[in-house]
Chains A and B, each alone.
Chain A
Amino acid sequence: MNSLDSNPYGLRDNELSSGTTIMAVTFDGGVVLGADSRVTSGSYIVNRTADKIQPVHDYVWACRSGSAADTQAISDYVRYYVDSHVTSLGRLPKVKTCATLMSHICYGNKDNLMAGMICAGWDPYDGGQVYEVPIGGTLLKQDFSIGGSGSTYIYGLVDSLYKPGMTKEECQDFVKKCVSHAMARDGSSGGVVRIVTVDQTGVKKECLLGNDLPYLP
C-alpha cells in the first residue's frame, strides 16, 4: 500500500520514526519547546521515553520529527557547525544562524531526507525566537510553531488557545495542553510530554508523566 495515510513520512520498512508531536512558542524573553516521547518502527513502539528536544547550543534547541536517523544526523551536524562558528565568533550564536544552517542542510539534501524540525531558543540580540524547518528545507520564523504527525489534530486547538503576549507559565501550560491533546488522538505520538524552557537565566527541562497529562477522554 503506497497511500500517504499509512506512511505519511515515506519511510522505509522498519525505519524508525519519531512520528511525533512537536511545538515551540515564544514569550517575552524566551521560548518554550515541547514534544512527546514515542519512537515507532511500523506500529511497534521502540522507545516510549525518547527525548526529541536536543540542544544545538547553550540557548538554542531543536525539536525533531520524521525519520529518527535523519533528524539525529541533522541535529549533530548543526551542533558541530554552530560549535565551530561560535569558536571563531567568540560570542553566543543567533538563533537565526542555527536555524539557517539547519535549513541549508535540509534543503541541500532534500531528496534523501525526511525531517521536519523546529529550531527555537534565545539570543541576546533578538530575544526568544522560533524557526520552523519543515520537510523540504523551508525556513519560516513564527511566533509559535507545531510539527509532526500529531500536529494535524491540534491546528484548531492552537488557533483557539494562542494569544500573543502570553507569560512564560501560560506558554508552558499551552504547550502541555496541546501536546497532550495531540498524543491522545495520534497513534504515532505518546509517552511523556517533555518541555524545555529557554530564557536569559538559562534552560529548564521538565517531564510530564502519563498520569499528569491534562487531557483525558
Chain B
Amino acid sequence: MSILHYNGGAIMAMKGKDCVGICSDLRLGIQTQTVATNFKKIFPITDRIMIGMAGLATDVLTLDQLLKFNCNMYKLRENRDMKPEAFAALVSTLLYEKRFSPWFIEPVIAGLSEDGVPFISGMDLIGAPEVPDSFITAGTCTPNLNGVCESFYEKDLEPEQLFQVMSQCLLAAVDRDALSGWGAEVHIITTEGVHTRQIKCRQD
C-alpha cells in the first residue's frame, strides 16, 4: 500500500461564480481501521484562502503549522495578506525543497483574490502545480472524484448551487472508497466570508 494511502482521505475544490468551494471527508484511519471521524484536512490560511491536504496525516498537520508560520512571516514583512497565486507558489517551493525526501501530501488550494476572482490549484507531493479552470481533486479516491466532478461541474455556479454540486460529488465518490468518508466538511468562500457546513453521510 502506498504511503499516501496509509491514512486515507479525499479533498476537492471547485470554482463558482465569484466564489470557490473546498471540501473534504473527515476520516482518519490506520489502513483499513478507522481511528477518528473528525479529522479536519482543510485549514484556513487567510480570510480568503484555504488549503486542503490529502496524504499522510502527520505531514498534513506539520505542513499546516509550517504554512501558517510562513504566511504569518509574509504578513509581518509585507503588511498585507498573501494573494492566492503567491500562496500556491509558496507551497510549491516548500514542497520542492524536500524533493528527495518529500512531504507525503497532495495539497489543494482554494482562494479568492482581493477583487473576488476565484482561484484553485493542486499539486503533487513534490510541488508540481496545476491551475485548472474548473475543479481539482486529491486523495485516495481521485478516479472517483474526477469522474463525478467531470459529469456534474458547470461553469459559474452560484454559492448555493456550488455547495449542492460539491456535496453530491464528494459523497458519491467517497461511498465507493473504503479509505474515505465518515462525514464531510464543505467550505464556500465568497467576498462576504467563508460559509462552512458539515455533512452527515454513511458511517461505514
Interface set of A (CB-CB < 8 Å, partner B): 1, 5-7, 19, 36, 38, 40, 43-45, 48, 149, 153, 183-191, 210, 213, 215-217
Contact = CB atoms under 8 A, between A and B. Distances in A.
B179 interface: yes
B77 interface: no
Interface string B105-130: 00000000000000000000000000
Given A44-B177, A217-B37, A189 B204 contact: yes
Interface of B: 1, 5, 8, 29, 31-34, 37, 140-141, 143-144, 175-179, 182, 202-204
Given A44-B143, A186-B34, 18 more contacts: A19-B32, A36-B204, A38-B204, A43-B141, A45-B176, A45-B177, A45-B178, A184-B203, A185-B33, A186-B32, A186-B33, A187-B8, A187-B29, A187-B31, A187-B34, A187-B179, A213-B203, A213-B204
Given A19-B32, A43-B140, A153-B33, A187 B178 contact: yes
B31 A5 contact: yes
Given A6-B1, A6-B31, A186-B32, A38 B178 contact: yes
A215 B140 CA distance: 25
A153 B182 CA distance: 17
Contacts of A184: 34, 203-204
Nearest to B174: A45
At the interface, is chain B mostly helix, strand, loop or mixed?
loop
Given A6-B31, A43-B5, A188 B178 contact: yes
B1 A1 contact: yes
A210 B200 CA distance: 12
Given A40-B178, A45-B177, A210-B204, A185 B1 contact: no
Contacts of A215: 203
Contacts of A19: 32, 178
In order of increasing CB-CB distance, the 7 nearest A-B pairs are A190-B204, A187-B32, A6-B1, A187-B178, A45-B176, A183-B204, A43-B178
Contacts of A36: 204
Contacts of A45: 175-178
A213 B5 CA distance: 27
Contacts of A6: 1, 31
A122 to B, nearest CB: 30
B178 A216 contact: no
30 contacts: A6-B1, A40-B178, A43-B8, A43-B140, A43-B177, A44-B144, A44-B176, A44-B177, A44-B178, A45-B176, A48-B175, A149-B32, A183-B204, A184-B204, A185-B33, A185-B34, A187-B8, A187-B32, A187-B33, A187-B34, A187-B178, A188-B32, A188-B178, A189-B204, A190-B178, A190-B202, A190-B204, A213-B204, A217-B182, A217-B203
A206 B177 CA distance: 25
Contacts of A191: 204
A217 B144 CA distance: 26
Residue of B5, B141, B144, B177 most packed against chain A (CB within 10 A):
B177
Contacts of A44: 141, 143-144, 176-178
A44 B1 CA distance: 13
Nearest to B34: A185
